Amino acid sequence: MSEKILVVYATKYGATAEIAEKIAGVLKETGATVDMKDVRNLDNLSEYETVVLGSALYMGFWRKEMARFVKKQAAELAQKKVWIFVSGTTNEGDPVKDLEGRIYPPNLQPAMDVIKPVDVTAFHGAIDLAKLSGFEKWIIKKVNAPIGDFRDWDMIMAWAKTIIQ
């Protein structure tokens, strides 16, 4: 019997969902049974042994729906093998170093202490100006954020392979 894995994500414009999809695909290639769900459509964790949580970082913060889910489900998640990724930095450096100490917000520390994730990592994200509001474009310009797709698919696939080992 293969392991049942849930890949659950929270995304604003779709880049994090695409990362979750890539991770789910890598896991399926190993023979695992994998479901992928938007955190807003998640109703039950009981059938899964492993849960991969992915949240977009938006202006430095996790998506609210993922933060709420993690806080609410911390006790149940503590009974599973949990892997966490965030995506959002847009530059050329190491995304984990870029977010050192800020991969998850301080208000999630109590939940993380309960969950004890196997691993927490960060991936670069993508900014597509065509999807942004006028205000978001203004902020991007003010902070001089690099525009484009900075996701490293090889890094993402390599991390996904560690989940099933």
Summarize pLDDT for 108-154 with one digit per residue, the tens: 999 999 999 999 998 988 888 888 888 888 888 888 787 888 899 99
For 33-68, how does the pLDDT look when each residue is reduced to its tens digit (9 = 90+)?
A: 999 999 999 988 999 999 999 999 877 788 999 999
Residue by residue, DSSP assigns the chain as: -PPEEEEEEE-SSSHHHHHHHHHHHHHHHTT-EEEEEEGGG----TT-SEEEEEEEEETTEE-HHHHHHHHHTHHHHTTSEEEEEEEEE-SSS-HHHHTTT-SS-GGGHHHHHHH--SEEEEEE-EE-GGGS-HHHHHHHHHHTPPPEE---HHHHHHHHHHHH-
Tell me the three state secondary structure of residue 45.
Answer: coil
pLDDT at 98: 67
CB 12 within 8 A of CB 63: yes
When mean pLDDT is compared across 4-13, 64-73, 88-97, 137-146, the lowest value belongs to 88-97
Q: Which two tokens stand for residue 106?
A: 């301080």
pLDDT at 150: 87
pLDDT tops 70 at residue 5: yes
As a whole number of angstroms, the distance between CA 86 and CA 121 comes to: 7
What are the structural domains, with CATH classification, of the chain?
Answer: 4-164 (3.40.50.360)
pLDDT tops 90 at residue 163: yes
As a whole number of angstroms, the distance between CA 161 and CA 18 comes to: 17
pLDDT tops 50 at residue 1: no
pLDDT tops 80 at residue 2: no
CB 66 within 8 A of CB 10: yes
The alpha carbons of the chain give a radius of gyration, in whole angstroms, of: 15
Q: Tell me, yes or no, if the pTM score tops 0.85.
A: yes
pLDDT at 73: 96
pLDDT band at 96 (very low <50, low <70, confident <90, very high): low
